[in-house]
Structure 1
Amino acid sequence: MAAPQARDPLFEVEDLKVHFLTDDGTVRAVDGVTFEIPRGKTVCIVGESGSGKSITGRSLMNLLPGMARIAGGRVRFRPELDQEVEITALDPRGPQIRSIRGKQISLISQEPMAALSPVHTIGQQMIPVIQRHLKLSRKQAADHATAMLARVGLPRPAERLNRYPFEFSGGMRQRVCIAMALACRPKLVIADEPTTALDVTTQANILDLLQELQSEFKLSILFITHDLGVVAEVASEVVVMYLGKVVERGSVEEIFYDPRHPYTRALLRSVPRLGAGKNTRLATIKGMVPSPFDRPTGCDFHPRCEYAQAGLCDVTDPGRVIIGPGRDVRCVLQSPATVLDANPSRRVAHV
């Protein structure tokens, strides 16, 4: 599995840095991130709020807030075997990146009501995009939009084109967003916490739908979440982020069965377990994610780390330790032969 990924990833993110220029100073929101997205697979980025997950995802579209800029690194996109586009080198408002967004790379956001215009019908939002990217007539685009709404499970899809977002439930709005994201047959879908605002049953239905559509359309998916239960269900590869850095990366089996970074292990221990007694205290990670204006010296995680060693972790900024193909960890206590003691439960089925 690892060899094809190394030879021909759809995306290569190399030492990506994104800075926010604020009145209080520069925030290193993404600080040297490196990972790959294989063709037809799901890569999950996981971490607490403030870890840089969403900004990393949006950087793949060069779609950043006005105060943000790409300060270094590269994002290489290979839509075909003989093509390569360096996303970070493109003008974020230029015609080339605008022709890529929505057609080859699309986004499903966390809150569909924020993604959909409340004053335009679903058809008014879908049809022009389909016309522009697929070069169809208005009628052809309307038929295509209707077919996509039907494919994501909306009843009476032709009628839905003339409805406004407030006339839909939360789950139906998210299905509309999925239909819009897939309408132009993209190579990559960035799903940024797409089920967080939904109830558990609707969340499960949306995850099942995304997996069906991934298989049908041969999609790659970058799934951004804080929910390790979702990660265990959908991921092929996992990228664990903390304070703008990748602290661990590997296959879903490696991350759940053999977590190497203390932060990954702490996240896994924090997941509620089926069968736990009603008086069982839920494990938590001590402390808080520090302010980006007040980063710790040495390892960013050392103030919260149960394995931190004074004189080492508080002074040494760890580099990446390469454990194997597509497998690395950022920890001074790690080497390819190191295994931390007191492993949490390693059964993916428990998450």
Structure 2
Amino acid sequence: MRGAAAPSPLVAVSDLKVQIGTDDGLVRAVDGVTFDVPRGRTLCIVGESGSGKSVTGRALMNLLPPSGRIAAGSILYAGRDGQAVDVTRLDPRGRQIRSLRGKEISLISQEPMAALSPVHTIGQQLVPVIRRHLNLSKKAAQARAVEMLGRVGIPRPAERLNNYPFEFSGGMRQRVCIALALSCRPRLLIADEPTTALDVTTQANIIDLLQELQREDGLSILFITHDLGVVAEIADDVAVMYLGRIVERGTVDEIFADPRHPYTRALLKSVPRLGSGRGSRLAAIRGMVPSPFERPQGCDFHPRCEAAIKGVCDTIDPGTITIGPRRGVRCILAREPAALGGAAHG
């Protein structure tokens, strides 16, 4: 699928801006991002902590913290009836958005113990959701719950319905969360760092499971991660975020074979590589992500950029420059290919 043309988008996000109120003022957590999630494909959003990845994912469900609000932009979701719904215009507590959450758009959180109630059994959490969204009898909903637990690799699923979350290992709790997210046959799955706290074997099993479900059901996936190894394995398309903005987007092959933004190149250089030898140092990105209250003038990344041009990058905000189909870069060097030189590719 990676080399094929992208199908029509299931979700199209345009100039999305999300603000979150704090004691120190408003944070522009998401600052004008534009992307789409094609049907049956996986878009990975990657970046350091605090880049706005998780807030972007939750905005697609209009599921923000009480102090958060969508300040601008649109999120067009293509419904089953062919009509597009702008999620940003729905009441976050209204019936219409609640009918989309869980049934049409589902979320896997990075922390399963926060997503599951510790005082209810797995069955008490799965069955009512299935009954509500699929309009099934209690018996049919229980059968569906058992089916989904078995499908995600939970042994003796009928028995485990009566267990509480603390009776499961971390990997098994994450599988329960996946079963819960997929039990109502959603069309879009938002996976927010779903494998971060898991061992490598369990991580690989969960990624294999998501890919299998995608092949079988035509699922669209928005996968949020900081792990470029996972991105290489699961992504069709990639969006790199920094300080609430998408600084580069393209297919996974384009991003890994020909990264154009200095931040993307820095992230790729920081990935451990086989054969690099014992004692070899990982490349680090100098400096820290700036405070959202003290954004740099010009390009957001220029204080940490090895290729920054004084008097240019610290004064000009380049905006997103289109360099190919479904390919964009937020870097002034993309306008001046000759200036890229060895420093940019270094």
Q: TM-score range by the shorter chain?
A: over 0.9
Aligned-residue offset at 1:192: 0.2
Q: Which amino acid aligns with 1:152?
A: V
2:35 aligns with: 35
Counterpart contact for 1:118–1:164, Cα < 8 Å: yes
The reply on whether 1:82 has 2:82 as its aligned counterpart is: yes
Aligned-residue offset at 1:222: 0.3
2:50 aligns with: 50
1:73 aligns with: 73
User: Structure 2 length as normaliser, TM-score?
Assistant: 0.96
1:341 aligns with: 342
Q: Which amino acid aligns with 2:67?
A: M
Quick one: distance in 2 between partners of 1:247 and 1:153?
A: 37
Query: CA deviation digits over 1:2-50, x for unaligned, max 9?
Result: 7544xx2101010000001222111100000001100000000000000
Matches within 5 A, 1:238-253: 238-253=238-253
The reply on whether 1:64 has 2:64 as its aligned counterpart is: yes
Instruction: Flag the 1:2–1:21 CA change in 2: closer, same or farther, 3 A.
Output: farther
Aligned residues with identical type, % of pairs: 71
Structure 2 spans left out of the alignment, 5+ residues: none
Number of matched pairs: 343
2:16 aligns with: 16
Structure 1 spans left out of the alignment, 5+ residues: 346-351
Matches within 5 A, 1:310-325: 310-325=310-325
Q: Which amino acid aligns with 1:163?
A: N
Matches within 5 A, 1:1-351: 3-5=5-7, 8-80=8-80, 82-335=82-335, 337=337, 340-341=341-342
Q: Which amino acid aligns with 1:214?
A: Q
Query: CA deviation digits over 1:142-171, x for unaligned, max 9?
Result: 011001101111111000100000000011
Quick one: distance in 1 between partners of 2:160 and 2:219?
A: 26
Q: Which amino acid aligns with 1:226?
A: H
The CA RMSD measured in Å over matched residues stands at 1.5
Quick one: distance in 1 between partners of 2:344 and 2:332?
A: 18
Aligned-residue offset at 1:82: 2.2
Q: Which runs of structure 1 show a deviation greater than 3 angstroms over 4 or more consecutive aligned residues?
A: 1-5, 336-340, 342-345
Aligned-residue offset at 1:133: 0.3
Counterpart contact for 1:48–1:226, Cα < 8 Å: yes
Q: Which amino acid aligns with 1:157?
A: P
Quick one: distance in 2 between partners of 1:184 and 1:16?
A: 28
- Partner-residue secondary structure (3-state), 2:45: strand
Quick one: distance in 2 between partners of 1:79 and 1:169?
A: 36
User: Structure 1 length as normaliser, TM-score?
Assistant: 0.95
